[in-house]
Amino acid sequence: MSKTKRTWPLFVLAGSSFLPGLGFFFGVAAAVWGLISDRSRAMLAAAIGAGGALLNLIGVVLLMWHFEQDPAFVSADQQGTRSDLAQVVRALEGHRREKGRYPEELTVFTKPPYSLRLINIQDFSAGIIRWPRDYHYELASDGQTYTLFAVGIDGQPGTADDLYPDLPDSAARHSGYRGPR
């Protein structure tokens, strides 16, 4: 006489997928287990787990969208962007000291040996949910100066919401960085 496998542990795992936060992981586990299991009603448990995981994902996206509109979050995000831009200026100056010139584009910092320094060149100033792009970097025709900024919330360069590096005056004077005109 063959013993049938109990299904309740799979349904407990699938039900846990509706818990906020960790529910996504429980849902994925329940969906995978349900799909590979030969237990009775395993497909139903897989569907419940997948539904809970999907609801958790939707909740995270809605939460991010909500906080993206919050003035305190926007202010903190802008300060982080200014700090990242200052780090890029330091990396550009280091590149000039090492190579004798500024790079043509910021993607040089995504390749070894610069990639080991973890320099963020991605501009998220238009919001976390939007597709990221590189910071706006333009090397002057003389190759001695450059402009660098983030496009801000509107996603358009050259507008009032553009963000610039937070540099001390001494660092700005001794670099090729040229701020807003």
**Predicted pLDDT at 174:** 84
Q: 92, exposed or middle or buried, with CB in 10 Å at 0-12, 13-18, 19+? A: buried
Q: C-alpha angle 83/165/169, rounded to 5°?
A: 110
d(CA 44, CA 144): 65
- Kindly list the structural domains of the chain, giving each domain's residue range(s) and its CATH number in brackets, ordered by start: 8-68 (no CATH), 71-173 (3.30.700)
Helix (H) or strand (E) holding 91: helix 71-99
- The residues, ordered by sequence, that sit 6+ positions from 160 with a Cβ below 8 Å of its Cβ are 152
Q: Which residues of the chain have pLDDT under 70?
A: 1-3, 115-116, 128-129, 181
Q: What is the pLDDT of residues 132-150, one digit of tens each?
A: 788 999 999 989 999 999 9
Global pTM exceeds 0.75: no
User: For residues 123 and 151, is the Cβ–Cβ distance under 8 A?
Assistant: yes
d(CA 53, CA 50): 5
d(CA 126, CA 47): 36
**Predicted pLDDT at 129:** 67
User: For residues 136 and 180, is the Cβ–Cβ distance under 8 A?
Assistant: no
